Each structure stands twice: as structure tokens, then as C-alpha cells.
Structure 1
Amino acid sequence: MAFSIGDLFAGAGLFSEGFRQAGFLPRFAVELDAEAVKSYRRNVGPNAVHGSVTDVLNLGTVDVLIAGPPCQGFSTLGRRDPLDARNDLCFAVLPWADGAKPKVIVIENVPPFLKSGHWQRLARGLRRRGYKIFTWELEAADFGTPQLRRRAFTIASKIGIISPPAPVSERISCAHALLNEPIAENDLMHRWPTLQGVSAQRVALVPANGDKRDIQKAAPELCPPSWQRIGCQATDVWGRIDPDEPANTLRCTFLNPSKGRYLHPTENRTISLREGARLQGIPDDWLIDGRPYQVARQIGNGVPIPLARAVAKQIYAALSAFETADSLAA
């Protein structure tokens, strides 16, 4: 059976790609970032539209509508500002539900989103439109992603109950993504910032699996006073990735060692754009458009492709069962 999807807040297309790999046909995607639209068109398909989801467009009907509205106002890694204007963008799903008439809607966000007033209002709007609401909280590392990234999925269904996917049996370590598989020498995305001065000195002092605490012990003169004031907080910054475990959540700023545990396991540098892409399950034949910080943002903002694929397979199975039962009844 062929089922179609529409993607809102599509980014570079990681969410769409997971659904495409599960057998769905991407019919449309809407994204405000022009560079991300180029990336989507290059890697997923030509159906991406450059524009805001708040400008409701007539792009046709789909079987499934997927959306990943901004999470910054809900994420524990951010300020969690309830007045962040981006929080209201989740409500754009409602008019798209009216226009695209999907049987299923899948909304991805951070887990705190499910406890917000915005989610409650969105859920009420979906229920008024005849959808039953289910919520899943899934850990990306349980579905073949070499990264710890817990995400919440709101499933709005007109085809009955849809159960969450079962985790795979074994987690994948970072070694699989960063060390075991060589990266082509001519890979345009295998690049990283060149560290200089104090930054280079700090990184050289970080041992395997170490972090800023090791720098503080070895060379306190290289550490700003703020590190002492922060104390035991933010210990992952200037940290090396443990190759034997899944990586920590990959943020959009992973090219900056002061933003998290983003140092290469063995080399004195941050991970490259390609290595960050691998942690999100992005194939090596993908090229993402834009300047390095734009590429990193597109990578860090996406739904890991293996997690998206696991979600999509559940939706596909539920739609197939529904269509089969409907045809038999007819």
C-alpha cells in the first residue's frame, strides 16, 4: 500500500526520510529556513516548499501529517520560557489538519511539551476534529541511533489505537559512528573548526572520557572564574565523547566544545559535521547545504532518522491494517 505524508517544520528532512524509508511517499514539506529547504530537496525529494507553516497553503491531502514544531521554549536544555513566541507555532498544525485531512498526525517534541498548557490546548483542538490522542516517549538510542535523545510523540489518530514501537535489542555505541567506519577523504562535510590559543590548550588536556574538570585540575590558569562559580554544574562541557556508549543529545551547537560533550574520542578537536550527522543516523551520501553553523543547526534540529523510521513503521502497519479491514467490510 502507498501512503503519503506532509511534513511541517520539515528542516533538512530527517523526519520525512525516516517515513520515506518505511514506505511512505513524501507529498509536501514546509520549511522557513531556505538552506534547509535546499538540503531537503537535495536528499529527500523536490516537494519542499520554502515558507512559513502559518501561511496555510493548499498543498493537497495526505494520509499522515508529521510535524516537529520548535522545542526551545519547552526543552530543559533551554530557558523554558513560557512566553517564547515560538511555542505558539505548534497550533499551526490545526488548520493544516483541516486542509490536508490526514488520517494520522504525528507531532514530535521534547518530553516537557506533553506537560505544557500548549500541548493541552493543541490536544483539545485535535479532539474537536475527531482525533483520538496517544502519547509516546521514546529514547532514540533504543532504536538504532548512537545517541541518547529522548523525544515525545503525540499521535492523533482517526484509525483507532496505534501502539508505540518496541525497542531494538541492543544499543549502538559511538565507536560505530565515529571510529569503526572510515569517512571518505573528499567528504565535504568532514570538517570542523580549527581550535587555537587557549581553546586548543584546553582540549589537549582532556583525557579519554574527560571534561572541563580535568582542565581545571591540570591547568587552572586556563579556566575562567565562571567555571569555579558554576561548580558541579555543566560538567559535560569541554568533554570527550565516550566511544563505548551512545553520545549525549546532539545540540545545534555541537561544533563548539563549550556547549557540551562534543570532543572527538581520541583527536584534539570537536566532532566534524559528518560525524554529527552519523550520530543522527544521516547517511554519508547526504550533503547538507549552508555554512558550517547552518549545517550543524539542521543536523541538531532533526529527528534521528532511525527513530523516525521506527515511528513510521508503526504508523504504516496501523494504516495498512485499517485499510485492509475497511476494504473487507466494503
Structure 2
Amino acid sequence: MVSTIPEHDWGSLKAVDFFCGAGGMSFGLAQAGIKVIGGVDNAVDCKLTYEKNISGAKYIRHDITRLSAPELGRRLGLERDDPNLIFCGCSPCQFWSKIRTDRTKSVKTAFLLKQFRRFIKYFRPGLVVVENVPGLYRRKDNEILLEFLKFLGLQGYNFTDGVVNANHYGVPQNRMRYLLIASRVSEVEPLPIDKKEMRFNVADFIGVHNGFPAISAGHRDDTDFQHTAAALSEKNIRRIAMTPASGGNRGAWASEPELQINAYRGRDNIFRDVYGRMAWDKPSPTITTRFISLSNGRFGHPDENRAISIREGAALQTFPKDFRFYSSNLGSLARQIGNAVPPALARRIGEHLKVVRNG
């Protein structure tokens, strides 16, 4: 059990985490003193991570389209119309994301909100949380969300929803997310925003001063700390070595014929974050599933010549240092971390749900 989850302060609220992945939402809710009964996901590589870190919760590996509500109830001991039950739905979001993905696969993710609706209708939990990419909310042609909101109203839920920045809730990232909080047992207010002086930057979470030893690209850490960084080609090492520390971008080597990228010749005003370094005194960009890759965003370390490590990405997602991710594959570890709800955001949601439930 991870030491930062309280052992006895469960209170009366309990939660089921749909599309739980590695357990970011579950972990944050547990930190808030909410008992997490279980998580549901079809990912093979998240099971061990979830079970090892979310104490007392069951990981139900199942395709949600083939999981019936009564079966879920039997496996987790759920009761219908329980005012203290929370359902969290943080479904995969490729269809609504701005990031380029395989469109055929991503279309399937667009309809998972409808699947989540089946379980809400059957169990009628007291509280419902949805966290997703802002595209779910901003797409004007999105009938799926409109239908879901109408469904909640017909089921007797009142709700608050909108786009929030995770940096306003203890996360050192500019991570924009759609957040919905609904209740059928009490009124709901928006999640309170942290004061500006309480918001965090990259330097608050990573760096030698925070216990992250300096390492080189390609460094492998087989300890539980998992301070492993992806290897870089000789050309990319030259590129990042020329990139100014703390916020520099690829404009520093745009005039170098051997280093400039063909797609950006004469177009250095587009995709300026690609190959860039994070800035110590600013929040990081959104930690995606490809944060270990220098060429997939502003994922360069602020002053070391490499992309950020597995543990640094986890830290910027606000996972504690003793939260161990399980896989022998670097890409799988990055996906587990990048797809997760930041625990600090989840904890604030959990604390707010306790206030909502108590009226």
C-alpha cells in the first residue's frame, strides 16, 4: 500500500472508477478519504499497477460494452439507489482530442459515455463525475454529451460542468480538461479554484533539488524509482544541446542545415513546442502518452540534454514517488502515466464531493 493514502479515514462515501487505467482518479479519491471499491478497464497492462497501488480495490478487466450492470453489482457488492455511491467515468478520449490518432480506433471511444450511462441508470448512484478532454465539451456537433446531460436531468441529477485547467488544482501542468460533477442527493457547486499563489510550476516537482539525479538520454533505472529516460539519436542530442535551457525551442538550430527539420523549413512559427524544453518557472504542457519523446511536444528537460524521464512525467502528473508503475515496456509505462487523471486533481474532486454530499 502506498503510504500517502489514509488508512482509516474512509468516511461513508465509496467510489467505482470506470475506465480507471493505472488509477490516477482512484488514488486521488482515496487520498481524499473516499473508499474506492474498484476500477473497471479493459487494459491488460494497467491491472498490476492498479492492484499494487489502490489498496482494497478490485481491478475488473472487462470490455465495458459486454459488462452488464447486475454483474458489476455482484462483483463489487453494489446496491442500487445508494446516496453515498460515486461513479467516475474518465473514458478514453482520442475521438475528441486535438492530438492526431488512428481515427478508426478513436471513433470507438466516442461512444463510451453511452456505455457509462447504462450503469448510472441501473444503480442511480448519489454522485457522478466525468473527466475528459475539452473537445468533448467544445465540439458544437457533439450530440453524445448533450444526450448525456439530458439523461442526467431526467434521472433527477443536478450538475455543474465546464472546462478547467488542472494547474488551478495542484497540478504543475497547463492541462485543460472537461469536468462534470452531478448529484441527485444535494445541490452542486463548481469545484473551488486554488489561489494563484498556490499554483505550481515545473521546478516545484522535478529537478536535482527535488531528488531527481541528473541523468543522460538512454539512462535505465531498474529500481522502483523508475528514473528512466528514452534514448536519443546523435542528431537529436545535438539539437537539444543547442536548445536554450528553461523554455528554449527549436528556433535555436533552425539555421543549421543538418539539424533543421524539412517540415519546418521556413515555417518555424508552427508547432513551436515540438523539440522544446520545459521552463522551470512555468507549468509544464499537458503530459501526454508520448511525453518520453523529444519530438512529440515540449518534453525536453529544462536543462539536461534529454526528454523527461518516466518518474519525472509521473511527478508532473502528481503521482508520489512511491507509486510504482508495472511494465517492462517503456511505451506502456508512458501510456499509463499520460492517460491518468492527475491524482492532485482527483483529490480535490474527492474533497469537493464530500462537501457536496454533506450539503
- The two structures have a TM-score, normalised by structure 2, of 0.84
SS of structure 2 residue aligned to 1:318: helix
Determine the C-alpha separation between the residues in 2 that align with 1:194 and 1:41.
30
Determine the C-alpha separation between the residues in 2 that align with 1:77 and 1:205.
27
Report the residue type matching 2:204 in the other structure. H
Shift of 1:318: 1.2
Determine the C-alpha separation between the residues in 2 that align with 1:167 and 1:126.
25
Determine the C-alpha separation between the residues in 2 that align with 1:264 and 1:253.
14
Determine the C-alpha separation between the residues in 2 that align with 1:190 and 1:174.
16
Deviations 1:164-201 (A, max 9, x none): 22222221110111123113784441001121221222
Say whether 1:216 aligns with 2:227.
Answer: no
Determine the C-alpha separation between the residues in 1 that align with 2:193 and 2:156.
30
Tell me the equivalent position of 2:13: 3
Tell me the equivalent position of 1:190: 227
Determine the C-alpha separation between the residues in 1 that align with 2:298 and 2:203.
15
Deviations 1:13-51 (A, max 9, x none): 101111111111011210111111211111113411111
- The two structures have a TM-score, normalised by structure 1, of 0.91
Determine the C-alpha separation between the residues in 2 that align with 1:69 and 1:283.
23
Runs of 5+ consecutive residues of structure 2 not aligned to the other structure = 1-10, 214-220
Tell me the equivalent position of 1:176: 204
Determine the C-alpha separation between the residues in 2 that align with 1:265 and 1:105.
39
CA contact (8 A) 2:172 2:205 kept: yes
Shift of 1:97: 0.9
SS of structure 2 residue aligned to 1:90: helix
- Count the aligned residue pairs: 320
Q: State how 1:70-219 maps to structure 2 within 5 Å.
A: 70-78=92-100, 84-115=107-138, 116-169=142-195, 170=197, 171-179=199-207, 180-183=209-212, 186-208=223-245, 209-217=247-255, 219=256
After superposition, the Cα gap between the structure-2 partners of 1:42 and 1:94, relative to the gap in structure 1 and judged at 3 Å, is same
Between 52-61 and 77-86, report the one with greater CA deviation.
77-86
SS of structure 1 residue aligned to 2:26: helix
Tell me the equivalent position of 1:325: none
Q: 2:72 aligns with which of 54, 58, 61?
A: 58
Could you tell me the percent identity over the aligned residues? 28
Determine the C-alpha separation between the residues in 1 that align with 2:296 and 2:88.
29
CA contact (8 A) 2:318 2:344 kept: yes
After superposition, the Cα gap between the structure-2 partners of 1:75 and 1:199, relative to the gap in structure 1 and judged at 3 Å, is same
Runs of 5+ consecutive residues of structure 1 not aligned to the other structure = 322-330
CA contact (8 A) 1:8 1:66 kept: yes
Determine the C-alpha separation between the residues in 1 that align with 2:253 and 2:63.
44
* Alignment root-mean-square deviation, CA: 2.0
Report the residue type matching 1:183 in the other structure. F
Report the residue type matching 1:58 in the other structure. L
SS of structure 2 residue aligned to 1:84: helix
Say whether 1:317 aligns with 2:340.
Answer: no
Say whether 1:295 aligns with 2:306.
Answer: no
Shift of 1:280: 0.6
CA contact (8 A) 1:264 1:270 kept: yes
Tell me the equivalent position of 1:47: 58
Report the residue type matching 2:333 in the other structure. V
Say whether 1:267 aligns with 2:304.
Answer: yes
CA contact (8 A) 2:249 2:273 kept: yes
Determine the C-alpha separation between the residues in 2 that align with 1:94 and 1:107.
11
CA contact (8 A) 1:2 1:23 kept: no
Determine the C-alpha separation between the residues in 2 that align with 1:270 and 1:137.
29
Determine the C-alpha separation between the residues in 2 that align with 1:80 and 1:150.
22
SS of structure 1 residue aligned to 2:64: coil
After superposition, the Cα gap between the structure-2 partners of 1:222 and 1:183, relative to the gap in structure 1 and judged at 3 Å, is closer
Tell me the equivalent position of 1:225: 262
Tell me the equivalent position of 2:6: none
Shift of 1:309: 1.0
Between 74-83 and 179-188, report the one with greater CA deviation.
74-83
